[in-house]
Amino acid sequence: MNILDLIQSGLALVPIPYRMKGPTSCGWNLRENAINTHQGALLLDGKNIGLAHAFCTPTPTCAIDIDNYKESKKWLAKEGIDLNLLLRSPDAVVIWSGKENSLKLLYRMPEAVGALQSKQLLGQDAKMMLEFRCAAKNGATVQDLLPPSVHPTGSHYQWLGDGSPLNIPEIPKDLLQIWLNLTTAKRTCTRPVRQSNGPCSKPPTLLGSTPRPETPREIAVVKLLLSYISADCGRDLWRDIVWAILSTSWSCAADIAKAWSQSAPTRYEDDAFWTLVQTYDANREGGPTLGTVFFHARKGGWIG
């Protein structure tokens, strides 16, 4: 496996000076400066190689950056995630810099979600414990060094795990949901042990009557929830879910509802779907709302 293989697999790369952890060139984090062609690969010769997460194709990549393995494992366990299972997964793509208790898991983001803003969590010592890495708040990319880059200490970055960097797996839904919860929270909790009644308790899912804005993140949340609800269901539930989606008043609501309905191809009928859409009454009191979607997603296994 070489640099050309990485580019061919859709990875966007960044040249970084040898034995340095970060780029030094101006505008390195902009899409137009990412290297994604065989010709551009010449610029990487003799340099460290960074992965420009937000600009990879066909979907962005991301890194779960574990700076403190022991604390991260405990924190993730409280969120229902077994870190060891992630690392032992047959498709796990893992990077090790040679630093003790430090690893990075690489994933692809779902197409419906796209690039998410990076989020950081501090440990008990106020140092970085765990970071969800993909993009900056302004949409520019963040980067992570790839093997065979050389760490400032002289150690070589290595590929670990049983998966292939040329076929990076999609981020598990429950791990993605934690990330989405962190983007919803007003501030990131800096304590690794969450208190049940304190300000750092698990960020609540937004379930109020306030309309949810039609943003890429909100749309991604709804699509994630729908993935836990089978459209191969009875008519009453199908109607309620479709009307709940329409209750958002988003311009894309009908498209989302249709895509979900079509996930049960043996049941889907185009005429029946559009008839249902046309009979939706936004002024009807007590009708389905997004709370209906959250409820049935939880019944389907969503743990947000």
258 within 8 A of 209, measured Cβ to Cβ: no
Q: Residue 211: what pLDDT?
A: 63
**Residue 198's pLDDT is what?**
36
Quick one: CATH architecture of 3-184? Answer: 2-Layer Sandwich (3.30)
Q: What is the pLDDT of residues 262-291, one digit of tens each?
A: 999 998 998 889 888 877 877 777 788 898
pLDDT at 112: 83
In this predicted structure, what is the pLDDT of residue 301? 87
Q: In 109-234, which ranges are continuous DSSP H helix?
A: 173-184, 216-226
Low-confidence spans in the chain with pLDDT less than 50: 186-209
pLDDT at position 13 is 97
- Please state, as a whole number, how many other Cβ atoms lie within 10 Å of the Cβ of residue 141: 27
pLDDT of residue 281: 79
pLDDT of residue 185: 61
Angle subtended at Cα 118 by Cα 143 and Cα 59, rounded to the nearest 5 degrees: 65
Residue that has been written with the tokens 């989302």 in this structure? 256
Q: If you average pLDDT over every residue of the chain, what do you get? A: 86
User: What confidence score (pLDDT) does residue 249 get?
Assistant: 87
Cβ neighbours of residue 21 under 8 Å, at least 6 residues apart? Answer: 48, 145, 151, 152
- Supply the pTM of this predicted model: 0.66
Q: What is the pLDDT of residue 245?
A: 93
b vs e for 233-264, b when ≥16 Cβ sit within 10 Å of the residue's Cβ? eeeeebebbbbbbbbbebeebbebbbebbeee
Query: Is the Cβ–Cβ distance between 158 and 98 less than 8 Å?
Result: yes
- Residue matched to tokens 């008043």: 249
Q: Alpha carbon of 149 to those of 26, 101, 224, 304: distances in Å?
A: 21, 19, 35, 37
